[in-house]
């Protein structure tokens, strides 16, 4: 079976099912097709452009999600390769570095939102590492 989106001369669109494309051609030629809305026999296959564009949107969205995933992965990789992991000592270490009590270096670790806010208020540059978007979202 093959499904066609059909349109009459008054622009009513409807679906028609045919055994194959030849069956559609035969029925169209014999005038066996008619519009369910106005009974017009002037039927043509509707252009499939809307379906194509919808598919394109989906592909674009998927491509964007993939890029976002890669972006997040790259950020994490960069941080992990260039910074020292200090775990939950992060707020203390960040302060020590900022005030010159510890060697200046890139660090990353765990901080609560409150910790991060306090650090930022003290003028210490911290940035959250974006978490990976769920694969199924
Ligand atoms: Zn019609």
Domain count, the chain: 2
Residue 23 lies in a domain: yes
Residue 55 lies in a domain: no
> Are 8 and 42 found together in one domain?
yes
- Quote the domain boundaries for residue 39: 2-47
Residue 80 lies in a domain: yes
> What separation in Å is there between the alpha carbon of 35 and the centre of ligand 1?
5
pLDDT at residue 48 in the model: 58
Distances (CA, A) of 129 to 45, 71, 96: 52, 11, 21
Residue 41 lies in a domain: yes
Predicted confidence (pLDDT) at residue 102 exceeds the cutoff of 70: yes
Residue 136 lies in a domain: no
Give the confidence band of 75 by pLDDT, cuts at 50, 70, 90: confident
Q: How far apart are CA 77 and CA 72, in angstroms?
A: 9
Tell me whether strands 13-18 and 84-87 are parallel, antiparallel or unpaired. unpaired
The CA-based angle 130-112-105, given to 5 degrees, is 70
Residue 59 lies in a domain: no
Give the confidence band of 74 by pLDDT, cuts at 50, 70, 90: confident
> What separation in Å is there between the alpha carbon of 52 and the centre of ligand 1?
24
Total-model pTM = 0.47
> Are 78 and 115 found together in one domain?
yes
> What separation in Å is there between the alpha carbon of 32 and the centre of ligand 1?
14
Residue 66 lies in a domain: no
Residue 65 lies in a domain: no
> What separation in Å is there between the alpha carbon of 20 and the centre of ligand 1?
23
> What separation in Å is there between the alpha carbon of 24 and the centre of ligand 1?
18
> What separation in Å is there between the alpha carbon of 53 and the centre of ligand 1?
25
Q: How far apart are CA 15 and CA 5, in angstroms?
A: 5
């Amino acid at each position: 079976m093959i499904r066609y989106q059909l349109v009459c001369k008054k622009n009513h669109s409807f679906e028609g099912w045919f055994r194959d494309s030849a069956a559609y051609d035969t029925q169209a030629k014999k005038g066996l097709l008619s519009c369910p809305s106005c009974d017009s026999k002037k039927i043509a296959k509707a252009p499939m452009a809307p379906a194509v564009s919808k598919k394109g949107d989906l592909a674009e969205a998927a491509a964007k999600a993939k890029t976002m995933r890669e972006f997040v992965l790259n950020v994490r990789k960069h941080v992990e390769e260039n910074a020292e992991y200090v775990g939950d000592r992060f707020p203390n270490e960040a302060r020590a570095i900022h005030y010159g009590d510890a060697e200046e270096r890139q660090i990353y670790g765990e901080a609560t939102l409150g910790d991060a806010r306090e650090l930022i208020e003290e003028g210490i540059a911290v940035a959250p590492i974006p978490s990976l978007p769920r694969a199924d979202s």
